Amino acid sequence: MSVDLALIFAIGVLVACGTTLVLERSLTRVLVGFVLLGNGVNLFFIVASGPPGAAPIVGASDERMADPLPQAMALTAVVITLGVTAFGLALAYRTWQLEGHDDVQDDVEDSLVMRRAERDDMSGSFDEVDESLPEEEGADLPSINDELTRENDEDDESPDDGDPR
Amino acid sequence: MNHLASQIVLVPVIVPLLGAGLCLAFGRSARAQRIISIVALSIVVVAAGALLWRADQLGPQAVNVGGWPADLGISLVADRLSALLLVVSTIVTLSVLLYSFGQGIVEFGRDTPLSVFHPTFLVLSAGVSAAFLSADLFNLFVGFEILLAASYVLITLGGTEARVRAGTIYVIVSLISSVLFLISIAAVYAATGTVNLAALPDRIAALPEPVQLVLQLMLLLTFSIKAAIFPLSAWLPDSYPTAPAPVTAVFAGLLTKVGVYAIIRVQTTVFPDQPLRTLLLCAAILTMVVGILGAVAQSDIKRLLSFTLVSHIGYMLFGIALATEAGYAGAIFYVVHHITVQTALFLVAGLIEYRTGTTQLDRLGGLARAAPVLAILFFVPAMNLAGIPPFSGFLGKLALIQAGTASGDWLAYTGVGAGLAVSLLTLYAVAKAWNRAFWQPRDEHVDDDVPATGGLHPDTTTTVEDKVLRLPRGMALPTLALVTFSVALTVAAGPLIGVSQRAADELVERTPYIDAVLGDVP
């Protein structure tokens, strides 16, 4: 199968840009990335359909027809991408309405579990052991942990204040 | 073949979509919407039952939509596996729908458009059916997209802060898996010139081995994200718990299982010669172990259940990875069992939330005395999930362990060991939830800085003592029905295992499916 190198190159650029953007925190950028990815994949379908040919209408031309199936698939994929992007934009707008930004947030429960784990480290027995061995490596760890916990506490509290419910 | 009767295959896809349209048209009347939804889903249950009977007695039922030849057009096929999963999924969907009436989910918050829930729910059901029935990869993708689009709406229902946050994670992960799926489909088409599941095996087999491997890995990667298989499972426990109880229940029951179904289908039909046994067994073992360790650490019932969901997907993958007939049979039986039990448990979690205003174990206690019915409703599926004899969970695990020991190599034995350990840890996790929520008195010195996440009424901190809410019958009865159904799976385990084994036979044999799809070429 002969392949159009320009198409492959375009797919590469689109997918690379899309992947970079999808890794961003902001939902809008993620969506733009998704659109780029989707377009790259649609071009991939065109590549998959093989060499170009005449319009796939029976009897319209004597030339070799292009394969219509991947085009139908790409068309379906375009429609789906459009719908999902619209929903994603609505989601980004709603996030912005609620929080003033559209960053993807960390999970509240995850940070709660993390906080609990950190509290376990800070339990009395842990400190005692540490104090009895002041010369050991890492004896200064509790103070760092302390700061971390405090910072995390603040982080956790702040989104709750702006809770509109 | 009686052509007219095999058209039943279309019913599970068309009727819910039609119902969704009607629901939108009657958006003003909640009552009309309820009637339409119930009628549509009841028709689907009956049709699915008929399909299962026909598929079991007469072989796979296939329809080429629009009369196009199978490898060009859209074909829908119900073999034993598809029909069995369809029956269970529609029964579960129907009970969740009834439950949602009880909860009055449509009146959820004044901001929610009244008319959105029912049409979306029906579209979700149509998407699940389409995914189970489709006989080509692209149609499978469309089925996935239908159910995903519906699930995006359902998971962010009401648009509260917590749900938007959880929904965002879910939407992004699903988008990425969809893109991966599209890339895989394009690659498969470029390599073979077809996406029909029945036409693919021969053409795939003719490809060079590295190409086969790449295609298989890409498809498995896609489906593993959907099925929440470790290490692609991190999205699930973050996104499921915040949605309304019926939504979480139906997601937990069905959506991951659609991914599992796709893995079974692709592994058995398209790539029967290279099961990738070692890779899948390792993934299965890790999924089981990592999932349950997450569950043990949780202090919220819904999140705990989400982690057990991830963990138990590992059991199904274990059966698939063994690539023996017994393994497939065990996996199919386990899917059926798990759809029912996991949905029932999430419905119960919804009842707990309704009764007490929270599902956080730190804030719960003494429910066994306050709500004995609720206690029984939780206890039975929880023990079932942990695999206590004589429940169906025990039978499913036993079938998988037998299949594992029959394989007889060290990796399979490791899987069996992991399965036993995970079942024990599941028991520990649900017993912990049971103890803290139902058995021991409520801890009065609750950490007040623990925010009530995902609560039904997040602003109120109702406790058992403050406010005695009776369990609404509309919610309790469908839950009871589903719990009874899960127990009935134990009673009817003989025939069910029979069907699972025949379905596995059919999968390993492959020719009935391929002949049914390709045989109708005009």
ipTM, interface predicted TM-score of the complex: 0.81
For residue A134, pLDDT over 80 is answered with: no
Type and span of the H or E element at B76? strand B74-78
Q: What is the pLDDT of residue B122?
A: 92
Q: What is the pLDDT of residue A128?
A: 45
For residue A108, pLDDT over 90 is answered with: no
Residue B297: closest C-alpha in chain A: A113
CA angle B494, B496, B502 (to 5 degrees): 105
Q: How far is CA B440 from CA B363, B371, B434, B466, in A?
A: 12, 13, 9, 17
Tell me the C-alpha distance between B273 and B323, whole Å: 10
B265 or A125: which leads in pLDDT = B265
For chains A and B, CB pairs below 8 A equal 114
Question: Are A165 and B459 an interchain contact pair (Cβ–Cβ within 8 Å)?
Answer: yes
Q: What is the pLDDT of residue A1?
A: 54
Mean pLDDT to the nearest integer, A155-164: 44
Q: Does A88 touch chain B if contact means CB atoms closer than 8 Å?
A: yes
For the residues of B466-506, what is the DSSP string, one character each?
T--PPPPHHHHHHHHHHHHHHHHHHHTHHHHHHHHHHHHHH
Q: Does A161 touch chain B if contact means CB atoms closer than 8 Å?
A: no
The one-letter amino acid at B239: S
For residue A118, pLDDT over 60 is answered with: yes
B387 or A11: which leads in pLDDT = A11
- State both tokens at B159: 């648009």
How many other CB atoms sit within 10 Å of the CB of residue B294?
23
> Smallest Cα–Cα separation from B294: which of B277, B311, B278, B279?
B311
- State both tokens at B255: 């959506």
In chain A, how long is the greatest CA-to-CA distance? 91
Cβ partners under 8 Å of residue B363, min gap 6: B356, B442, B446, B450, B452, B461, B463
- State both tokens at B64: 């080429």
Q: What is the pLDDT of residue B460?
A: 41
Tell me the C-alpha distance between B12 and B90, whole Å: 9
Q: What's the alpha-carbon Rg for chain B, to the nearest Å? A: 22
In terms of pTM, does the model score above 0.80? yes
Q: What is the pLDDT of residue B370?
A: 74
Burial zone of B92 (CB within 10 Å; 0-12 exposed, 13-18 middle, 19+ buried): buried
Q: Does A44 touch chain B if contact means CB atoms closer than 8 Å?
A: yes
Distance between alpha carbon B37 and the CA centroid of its chain, in Å? 20
Residue with tokens 């699915």: B48
Tell me the C-alpha distance between A20 and A16, whole Å: 6
For residue A146, pLDDT over 80 is answered with: no
> Smallest Cα–Cα separation from B197: which of B251, B143, B150, B149?
B143
Give the three-state DSSP class for A107: coil
Check if the beta carbon of residue B252 is closer than 8 Å to that of residue B346: yes
Residue A51: closest C-alpha in chain B: B190
Tell me the C-alpha distance between B124 and B223, whole Å: 18
> Smallest Cα–Cα separation from B154: which of B124, B111, B115, B109?
B124
Instruction: Work out the mean pLDDT of chain A and round it to a whole number.
Output: 74
Tell me the C-alpha distance between B226 and B232, whole Å: 9
Give me the residue from B176, B182, B450 closest to A112, CB to CB. B450
Q: Does A89 touch chain B if contact means CB atoms closer than 8 Å?
A: no
Residue B194: closest C-alpha in chain A: A69
Work out the pLDDT band at A159, boundaries 50, 70, 90: very low
SS (H, E, C) B347-395: HHHHHHHHHHCCCEHHHCCCHHHHCHHHHHHHHHHHHHHHCCCCCHHHH
Tell me the C-alpha distance between A73 and A46, whole Å: 10
Q: What is the pLDDT of residue B444?
A: 61
Cis peptide bond prior to B390, omega within 30° of 0: yes
pLDDT over 90 percentage in chain B:
23
B412 or A143: which leads in pLDDT = B412
* A chain contacts of residue B238, beta-carbon cutoff 8 Å: 107, 109-110
pLDDT per residue rounded down to tens, chain B (522 residues): 446 777 888 888 899 999 998 888 887 777 788 888 889 999 999 999 988 888 888 888 888 877 777 777 788 888 888 999 999 999 999 988 888 877 765 455 444 455 788 889 899 999 999 999 988 888 999 999 999 999 998 888 877 788 888 888 888 889 999 999 999 999 999 888 888 888 888 888 888 888 889 999 999 999 999 888 888 888 888 888 888 888 888 898 889 999 999 999 998 888 887 778 888 889 999 999 998 988 888 878 888 889 999 999 999 999 998 888 888 999 999 999 999 999 999 988 888 887 777 777 777 777 777 777 888 888 888 888 888 888 888 888 888 888 888 887 888 888 899 989 999 999 998 888 888 888 877 666 554 444 444 444 444 444 444 444 566 777 788 888 888 888 888 888 888 888 888 888 888 888 888 888 887 544
Q: What is the pLDDT of residue A121?
A: 52
* B chain contacts of residue A77, beta-carbon cutoff 8 Å: 182
Question: Are A77 and B182 an interchain contact pair (Cβ–Cβ within 8 Å)?
Answer: yes
Q: Does B510 touch chain A if contact means CB atoms closer than 8 Å?
A: no
